[in-house]
Amino acid sequence: MTEKKQKKILLLSFSAGAGHMRAAQAIEAYAARDDGTGLAAKARHLDVMDFVTPAFRKLYTDFYIKLVNKAPALWGYLYHASHDAPKDSSMQRLRRGIERLNTRALMAQIAAFQPDAIICTHFLPAELLSRALRQEQLACPVWVQVTDFDLHRMWVQERMQGYFAATDEVAFRMRHEGIPADRIHVTGIPIMPAFAQVPERVQCAQAFGLDPQRTTILLMGGGAGLGSLETVAARLLALDGDFQLIVLAGKNAAALAALRDLASQYPGRLLAQGFTSEVERLMACADLVITKPGGLTTSECLALGLPMIVNAPIPGQEERNADYLLEQGVALKAFDAVTLEYRVRHLLDHPQQLQSMRAKALALGRPRAACDVLALVLDDGRAGAALR
């Protein structure tokens, strides 16, 4: 019997913002699994920014980072203005022309890999491939995974095989933009396989030297808008209440050193953690997460049933993410350090509300989103019709 040929899936993401990359990596991780599900595939993940000129990379990545950090209001304006701009406007035509001139190397890589299907976790490669399909320079189907709880019009491109939406509301917005209903699948946002099964709290807590019986708060990210990580951590530790605090400093060595100094002043109450590949195990120890409302991070929290306090959302997509989480009753919002203190105090004093938020988060979570996306792509959109 001839062995069935393994399909080749190409994943295209964009490194301005980690969420697009992590969504692609999650789908890639499921493709690499050979567990008898029939989903194994030869997957390759490419960052579009690896195939452009340095000037183009600087324009897209450095400009974006500077805007969201230094002039978030301006970024919010551009987000909404670009959503409303006609596709045939002179600015949009100029932007697309610049993109085509700087991504020829990417098209060569696609031709060399000869994928059976492509999944884009950012609108830029989807837009590039839409033109290639229109000009018959590409024959394989292209799918689009939206990575927020909102839909910006730039995600909507012609000739796409299908779209993956985080929620029914995002799917509704897709239909409103003219995408046929049979090409829309409500899967959630792809997260790593590790989040598909809730890690055992006691085991995880003991591995990190934490008390599994103690209320635990997890502070993630840079605390943007609330001050430095160590300042936020010190303010939280000064609150009344018997709780312990985990703070993730990522690759910020200075913040990690300051947090470890602070931990020495609060023995047994603060765990300062640098970059780690065990985020899901740290989340399993927590009762509450303080985080920016990125699509991927909040999807991970929902998968593990973690209530959130969201802070400093980037105007545009993160504001929409925060709105969704607040509407669903799984998060509160902190506008500044004073509000954060009030929110934490309130939830510590009202454990029944925390428990209600946890139940709602678990109900919303889609821990197997990446698996569902891969199954649909491998079966040309026929599998899992109930996900639409």
41-53 tens-digit pLDDT: 899 999 988 887 7
Q: What is the pLDDT of residues 143-186, one digit of tens each?
A: 999 999 999 888 999 999 999 999 999 999 999 999 999 999 99
Which residues are within 8 A (CB) of 125 and not within 5 positions of it... i.e. 6 or more apart? 12, 13, 14, 48, 106, 118
CA distance 8 to 89: 37
User: What residues in the chain have per-residue pLDDT under 50?
Assistant: 1-2, 90-91, 94, 222-225, 384-388
pTM: 0.88
C-alpha torsion 235→206→222→361, nearest 10: -90
- The pLDDT of residue 260: 94
Tokens of 155: 């995600």
Alpha-carbon distance of 130 to 99, in angstroms, equals 13
What is the predicted pLDDT for the residue at 76? 65
Strand ranges, E, within 105-194: 117-120, 142-145, 162-165, 184-186
**What CA–CA distance (Å, rounded) separates 24 from 139?**
21
Residue 159, sorted as left (phi over 0), alpha (psi -120 to 50) or beta, turns out to be left
> Quick one: pLDDT at residue 131?
87
Phi, psi of 192 (to 5 degrees): -65, 155
What's residue 80's pLDDT?
64
Q: Please enumerate in sequence order all residues whose Cβ is within 8 A of that of 145, keeping only pairs 6 or more positions apart, or say none.
A: 23, 27, 119, 120, 121, 163, 164, 189, 190, 373
Q: In whole angstroms, what is the distance from residue 174 CA to residue 180 CA?
A: 8
Please tell me the distance from the alpha carbon of residue 305 to that of residue 135, in angstroms, as a whole number: 46
Q: Residue 4's pLDDT is what?
A: 60
- Using an 8 Å Cβ cutoff, are 145 and 121 in contact? yes
Q: Are 216 and 273 in contact (CB under 8 A)?
A: no
For 75-213, strand residue ranges (E) read 117-120, 142-145, 162-165, 184-186
